[in-house]
Amino acid sequence: MGKRIYLDWNATAPLRPEARAAMVAACDCIGNPSSVHAEGRAAHRLVEQAREKVAGLVGAEPRNVIFTSGGTEANALALTPALAPSPGEAPRDLLLISAVEHPSVRAGGRFAPERIEDVPVTQLGVIDLEALRLRLAAVGSSGPGHRVLVALMHANNETGVVQPVAAAADMVHAAGGLLIVDAVQSAGKIVCDINQLGADLLVISAHKIGGPKGIGALVKRTEAIHIGEPLLKGGGQERGSRGGTENVIGIAGFGAAAAAAGTALARDRERIAALRDRLETQLRVMAPDTVIFGAEVERLPNTTMVAVPGIRTETALIALDLAGIAISAGSACSSGKVASSPVLSAMGAPETLAAGAIRVSIGATTTDRDIDAFLTAWRNVIAGLSKNRRGVAA
């Protein structure tokens, strides 16, 4: 088998050399970070150094970074009625989530299902800010004591569409609410500053930025924000927000990846965006009826979600995999079956088109040659799988 080409960076990014080196070095640190002896202090120092680097990536204070097992746990920890700007406040009684959130957000955390509502998005995949404003106004007019929590991702994992988080934050705060932002896909790819966004809580994940799998963080904008009861109770680690011995090796890798991603952000973003633009131009030349979802609005520089009428997702994925190219579907796979993407459904995409969507996501080590190889393979897919198609460039 020849060299495979990896174009699925939104699923997980390859491990950065800096992260690998930090993890290998941390393997020699035998102490428990909670122990008071020299070995314990050395482990604690590694954790705190990494905390500073992760905080730096998102413009936060290190003391406001809570390490978790990943983005899913961080979302579950944040999505609680007990969340408050300070201890002692009454619980949140309503959770509003955009219709394109990650499943870990759509699960609602510790909110009862009847206390969760969707906020629609436009056909371009951007949250309907007017719908959000009206719902917040309705909550406010229903009487005192109503407290809302809003969850809005920074950038969508499938389409790459960047959401107007700062504008939403202004609305939410004016209504006395709090805002949770899932920045798992945006951190390290675009500027992601918790203060500029106005997020009260921010969620990030190491393996999306070239760190190890199984480690993430929930980041608070201010130390005063009170989460309430932790999901994991135990020895009071992470300032009482998450019990359990810290994953020192994973945390060390996370910190190194965050520092590397922050340093390379401006350089990598420009080059990656140029690769994506060339890819999308050639896709349209190859098949003029190509649809690129969210292309009319701001997107992550590395993400292309594309469909061509007459192409089925599952067949395209298999054909590309056999050609040595790894990409993802724009749909959820379960038990060997491919179902339409909830994100595309929320955007109002026709079922026939959504059933053929694929996602190409690139990264720091993607080359022009990789893009060329994908385009060659995709041309073969179109030629081999399209029936009665016209307008496909030879």
Cite the active site residues: 333
Q: CA distances (Å), 387 to each of 176, 247, 340, 371, in order?
A: 55, 52, 21, 25
Q: CA distances (Å), 309 to each of 209, 284, 303, in order?
A: 33, 13, 20
Q: Cα dihedral sign for 12, 16, 20, 22?
A: negative
- Spatial separation of the C-alpha atoms in residues 208 and 259, rounded to whole Å: 14
Residue-wise DSSP of 248-263: HHHHHHHHHHHHHHHH
Provide the 8-state DSSP code for 158: T
Strand 303-307 versus strand 291-292 pairing type: antiparallel
In this structure, how many other beta carbons lie within 10 angstroms of the beta carbon of residue 13? 26
SS3 372: helix
How far the first Cα of the chain sits from its last, in Å, is 27
Provide the Cα torsion 251, 253, 257, 260; round to 10°.
Answer: 110
Q: CA distances (Å), 329 to each of 11, 122, 314, 359, in order?
A: 10, 22, 8, 6
Element (H, E) at 291: strand 291-292
Cα 386 off chain centre by: 33
- Spatial separation of the C-alpha atoms in residues 42 and 30, rounded to whole Å: 9
Provide the 8-state DSSP code for 388: S
Residue type, 152: L
For the chain, how long is the longest CA-to-CA vector? 73
Strand partners, 360: 304
- Spatial separation of the C-alpha atoms in residues 242 and 365, rounded to whole Å: 35
Strand partners, 230: none
